């Protein structure tokens, strides 16, 4: 395509991307380097029912309004919020590092800082769920593809159900099942032989439950993509492999998987992004005590009685950076393929 | 539940028509607030007003939308129904107006005690009070041969007796879900041990103290008698456990008292055995380990004066003495003139009489509450010491307070 043609072809998309993707990111960046002005506090007498009057501290609205009018964006704090304890916690990590007493205590101290604890869970989640989703999706696609054509439609519908169900509802259903009075929960109690056994009380088991949910929810997506890919598989290649005496496993390994490889890359990209932003199951499972992610931090910052916009913005930017780092190997590879094919 | 609401709304319409109470407004009213039964009743009563539309958006997510919904100009909502914790966020953002002139013009019939005064400004009109207090199953306690506890130490003994006699494995209930609920239970216990959240006159946290450690250790001791899933049980789940007969004793919100026996599907033995008592004290203290709350309404700042006046008139109509009837009286401990306390209200009244501390109405309390909710779960799971957990809370709070400009 000529450059000029490409330009006009791309312009509407480019404008939309600028408006709906680039500008919000810039706005979030700006919010993350500004924080509210120092509060001007005054002591006043508060009178409330049943308690009577007491002296309490409150914000001096007039003085604060004057400060705000002078500098509407707030005070400039640079990267302070990125480096505070709620985020990368530079000072705290430095302190832990100077008191280094071996890796065990180091990691346990690090785990007390919310950001690193969230990273530990998020990265484990990404590392476990992404490959499992791809493998399971491929297995379902292969299984359904080999079914009789009358059965296919029905089976495709059922396989897609986990993706059709709203994520929060899906996680709630699983949450009730693993409750100590739920189906899976009581089965586990019977298996463990301990009436106090509880999946929800154990961090390890809660992680497993969250990851099972993650795979359950995302596998249909991988399945649909792979199933579509299977329809484009040239029949003569498979026949050739069969004539050469390839077993079913060998056909999958040497013919089908290489054919689907670009799709695997695509699914991996999407899944890496989605899994890094894991959120719904943490809310649905009430798992805040055991697992947090950057997205749940943003939710907490904005959902509390006092909203922390700057903190939420900083976490958003860190999320974008994290996704970029995670995707870089795949992107680099795609870029090389692109260069090579030219 | 749905049918009941319709019946409730219906009965109130009939009541309004028969009482002939008039409420004429000439500008729009839009209400945002929490969704429990008492607020539903106030909203429905306000909607009796004619002349202009009265819209309500009552949802448990109210506090995530009320600041934004009052910030535009003109704002989406003209009033927010709030409690002593959530009014702080609205005052911090300066989105609600002082009501002094409206009270002077339309305030007849409101009692002095209903007016929430911050300095010289009336910022809200309260209509109900709330507090957490003891609820228990008298049949289970009788069977175990134990007295009704008045302190948390006695509650532990009661729990031990019930478990040892094999009546219930986990007799204690508690809204200990990580997050807001867990932090609130800490606040209760901490105040019961005589703690104060902040160093006087400053935003410096003051919870890593003897009272804080004792409060956490008492919570830990109680949790040994709770369902092992306790860190996922919010007040809804805790009440469900109680109504299902799995729990015999708990510290619970007074606003839930009347629904413990009237909700659908409650076991017969729970209906017959349900009883309430004053909040418990702890550690030999005399102040109950609980907090006192009020719910009230505000009027937005970013609306026209006509809308503000219409809002005041409609909301006052929503809490007029006439709105109390057999249906609405048991729903809350009303601060409305002419309210006769029902049986379900005695717990909250006892809390007030015993001098329960009001939930701190400080600009930075919300940040400390969030920090507590995020940092205490590890201690409750036995993964770290009480001192370490409290150090973590103070550090998390400090980072947030520096960001919001409360600390330097």
B19 falls in which pLDDT band (50, 70, 90)?
very low
Instruction: Look at residue A104 in the predicted model and tell me its pLDDT.
Output: 86
State the Cα–Cα distance between residues A212 and B182, nearest whole angstrom. Answer: 27
Instruction: Look at residue B75 in the predicted model and tell me its pLDDT.
Output: 94
Instruction: Look at residue B13 in the predicted model and tell me its pLDDT.
Output: 46
Residue B11 lies in a domain: yes
* Domain end point (choices B333, B351, B369): B351
Write out residues in chain A with pLDDT < 70, as ranges.
1, 341-342
Dump strand ranges (E) for A166-262: none
Q: Per the structure, how many domains does chain B have?
A: 2
Considering the domain architecture, whether residues B178 and B306 belong to the same structural domain is answered as no
Considering the domain architecture, whether residues B244 and B309 belong to the same structural domain is answered as no
Torsion sign over Cα A163, A168, A171, A173: negative
Query: In Å, how far is B110's CA from the nearest CA of chain A?
Result: 12
Instruction: Look at residue A52 in the predicted model and tell me its pLDDT.
Output: 79
Residue B123 lies in a domain: yes
Minimum-distance CB partner of A49 among B114, B118, B388 = B114
Instruction: Look at residue B21 in the predicted model and tell me its pLDDT.
Output: 61
Is the link from the previous residue into A289 a cis peptide, with omega within 30 of 0? no
pLDDT 10s digits, A205-226: 999 999 999 999 999 999 999 9
Residue B76 lies in a domain: yes
Residue B15 pLDDT exceeds 50: no
Minimum-distance CB partner of A289 among B115, B126, B178 = B178
Q: A57 and B384: CB-CB below 8 Å? A: no
* Alpha carbon separation from B76 to B57, B95, B272, B306 (Å, rounded): 11, 12, 46, 15
The alpha carbon of A68 is separated from its chain's Cα centroid by a whole number of angstroms, namely: 35
State the Cα–Cα distance between residues B377 and B396, nearest whole angstrom. Answer: 14
State the Cα–Cα distance between residues B273 and B262, nearest whole angstrom. Answer: 13
Higher pLDDT: B17 or B86? It is B86
The ipTM of this complex is: 0.86
B269 falls in which pLDDT band (50, 70, 90)?
very high
Instruction: Look at residue B5 in the predicted model and tell me its pLDDT.
Output: 53
Considering the domain architecture, whether residues B152 and B205 belong to the same structural domain is answered as yes
Testing the interface with B: which of A284, A304, A311 to mutate, by most B Cβ within 10 A?
A: A304
State the Cα–Cα distance between residues B54 and A28, nearest whole angstrom. Answer: 36
* Domain end point (choices B325, B351, B377): B351
Mean pLDDT calculated for residue range B78-89: 92
Residue B332 pLDDT exceeds 90: no
User: Radius of gyration (Cα) for chain B, nearest Å?
Assistant: 22
Considering the domain architecture, whether residues B206 and B311 belong to the same structural domain is answered as no
Q: B358 and A44: CB-CB below 8 Å? A: no
Instruction: Look at residue B14 in the predicted model and tell me its pLDDT.
Output: 43
Considering the domain architecture, whether residues B142 and B120 belong to the same structural domain is answered as no
Tell me which residue range forms the domain holding B53.
2-130+293-351
Instruction: Look at residue B16 in the predicted model and tell me its pLDDT.
Output: 44
pTM, two decimals, is 0.88
Considering the domain architecture, whether residues B206 and B341 belong to the same structural domain is answered as no
Query: In Å, how far is A238's CA from the nearest CA of chain B?
Result: 52
Helix (H) or strand (E) holding A199: none
Considering the domain architecture, whether residues B174 and B39 belong to the same structural domain is answered as no
pLDDT 10s digits, B109-160: 898 889 998 888 999 999 999 999 999 999 999 999 999 999 999 999 999 9
Residue B202 lies in a domain: yes
Minimum-distance CB partner of A48 among B84, B92, B369 = B84
CATH number (domain holding residue B310)? 3.40.190.10
Instruction: Look at residue A335 in the predicted model and tell me its pLDDT.
Output: 84
Instruction: Look at residue A2 in the predicted model and tell me its pLDDT.
Output: 77
pLDDT 10s digits, A280-289: 999 888 888 8
Q: A58 and B118: CB-CB below 8 Å? A: yes
Mean pLDDT calculated for residue range B189-202: 93
* Domain end point (choices B324, B351, B378): B351
Considering the domain architecture, whether residues B124 and B138 belong to the same structural domain is answered as no
Residue B408 lies in a domain: no
SS3 A96: helix
Q: List domains and CATH numbers for chain A.
A: 37-73 (no CATH), 77-112 (no CATH), 118-341 (1.10.3720.10)
Mean pLDDT calculated for residue range B165-193: 94
Query: In Å, how far is A162's CA from the nearest CA of chain B?
Result: 24
Question: Quick one: angle between helices A114-145 and A149-164, nearest 10?
Answer: 170
Instruction: Look at residue B313 in the predicted model and tell me its pLDDT.
Output: 95
Q: What is the mean pLDDT of chain B?
A: 90
């Amino acid at each position: 395509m000529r450059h000029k043609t490409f330009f006009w072809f791309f312009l509407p998309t480019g404008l939309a991307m600028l408006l709906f993707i680039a500008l919000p990111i810039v706005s979030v960046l700006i919010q993350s380097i500004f924080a509210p002005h120092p509060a001007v506090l005054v002591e006043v007498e508060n009178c409330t029912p049943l308690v009577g009057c007491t002296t309490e501290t409150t914000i001096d609205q007039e003085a604060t309004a004057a400060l705000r009018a002078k500098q509407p964006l707030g005070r400039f704090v640079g990267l302070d919020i990125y480096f505070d304890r709620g985020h990368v916690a530079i000072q705290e990590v430095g302190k832990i590092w100077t008191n280094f007493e071996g890796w065990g205590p180091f990691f346990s101290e690090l785990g007390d800082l919310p950001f690193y604890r969230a990273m530990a869970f998020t990265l484990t989640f990404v590392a476990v769920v992404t490959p499992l989703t791809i493998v399971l999706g491929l297995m379902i696609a292969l299984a359904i593809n080999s079914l009789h054509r009358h059965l296919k439609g029905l089976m495709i519908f059922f396989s897609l159900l986990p993706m059709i169900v709203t994520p929060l509802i899906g996680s709630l259903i699983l949450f009730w099942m693993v409750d100590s009075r739920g189906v899976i929960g009581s089965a586990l109690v019977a298996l463990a032989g301990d009436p106090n056994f509880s999946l929800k009380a154990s961090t390890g088991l809660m992680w497993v439950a969250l990851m099972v949910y993650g795979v359950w929810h995302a596998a249909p997506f991988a399945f649909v993509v792979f199933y579509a890919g299977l329809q484009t598989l040239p029949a003569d290649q498979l026949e050739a492999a069969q004539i050469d005496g390839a077993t079913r496993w060998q056909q999958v390994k040497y013919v089908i998987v290489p054919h689907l490889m670009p799709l695997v890359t695509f699914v991996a990209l999407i899944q890496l992004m989605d899994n890094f932003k894991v959120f719904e199951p943490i809310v649905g499972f009430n798992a805040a005590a055991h697992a947090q992610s950057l997205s749940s931090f943003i939710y907490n910052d904005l959902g509390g009685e006092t909203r922390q916009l700057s903190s939420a913005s900083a976490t958003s930017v860190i999320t974008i950076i994290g996704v970029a780092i995670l995707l870089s190997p795949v992107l680099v590879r795609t870029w090389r393929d692109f260069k090579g094919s030219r | 539940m749905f049918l009941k609401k319709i019946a409730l709304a219906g009965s109130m319409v009939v009541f309004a028509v028969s009482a002939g109470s008039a409420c004429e407004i000439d500008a729009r009213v839009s209400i945002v607030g929490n969704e429990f039964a008492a607020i539903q009743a106030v909203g429905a009563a306000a909607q009796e007003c004619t002349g202009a539309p009265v819209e309500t958006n009552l949802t448990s997510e109210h506090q995530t939308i009320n600041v934004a919904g009052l910030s535009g100009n003109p704002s989406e909502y003209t009033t927010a129904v709030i409690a002593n914790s959530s009014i702080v966020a609205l005052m911090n953002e300066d989105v609600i107006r002082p009501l002094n002139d409206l009270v002077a013009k339309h305030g007849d019939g409101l009692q002095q005690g209903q007016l929430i005064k911050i300095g010289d400004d009336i910022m809200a009109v309260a209509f109900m009070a709330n507090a957490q207090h003891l609820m228990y199953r008298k049949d289970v306690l009788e069977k175990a041969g134990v007295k009704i506890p008045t302190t948390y130490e006695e509650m532990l003994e009661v729990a031990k007796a019930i478990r040892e006699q094999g009546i219930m494995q986990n007799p204690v209930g508690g809204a200990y879900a990580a997050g807001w609920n867990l932090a609130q239970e800490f606040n209760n216990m901490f105040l019961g041990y005589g703690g104060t959240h902040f160093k006087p006159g400053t935003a410096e946290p003051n919870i890593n103290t003897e009272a804080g450690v004792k409060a956490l250790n008492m919570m830990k001791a109680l949790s040994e008698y709770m369902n092992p899933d306790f860190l996922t049980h919010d007040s809804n789940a805790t009440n469900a456990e109680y109504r299902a007969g799995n729990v015999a004793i708990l510290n619970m919100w007074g606003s839930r008292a009347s629904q413990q026996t009237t909700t659908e599907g409650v076991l017969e033995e729970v209906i017959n055995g349900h009883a309430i008592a004053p909040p418990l004290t702890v550690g030999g203290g005399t102040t109950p380990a609980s907090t006192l709350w009020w719910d009230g309404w505000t009027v937005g700042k970013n609306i026209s004066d006509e809308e503000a006046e219409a809002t005041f008139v409609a909301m006052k109509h929503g809490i007029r003495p006439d709105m109390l009837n057999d249906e609405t009286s048991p729903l809350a401990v009303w601060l409305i003139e002419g309210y006769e306390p029902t049986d379900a209200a005695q717990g909250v009244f006892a809390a007030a009489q015993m001098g329960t501390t009001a939930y701190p109405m400080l600009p930075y309390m919300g940040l400390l509450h969030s920090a507590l909710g995020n940092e205490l779960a590890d201690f409750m799971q036995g993964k770290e010491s009480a001192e370490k957990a409290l150090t973590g809370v103070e550090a998390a709070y400090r980072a947030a307070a520096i960001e919001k400009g409360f600390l330097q």
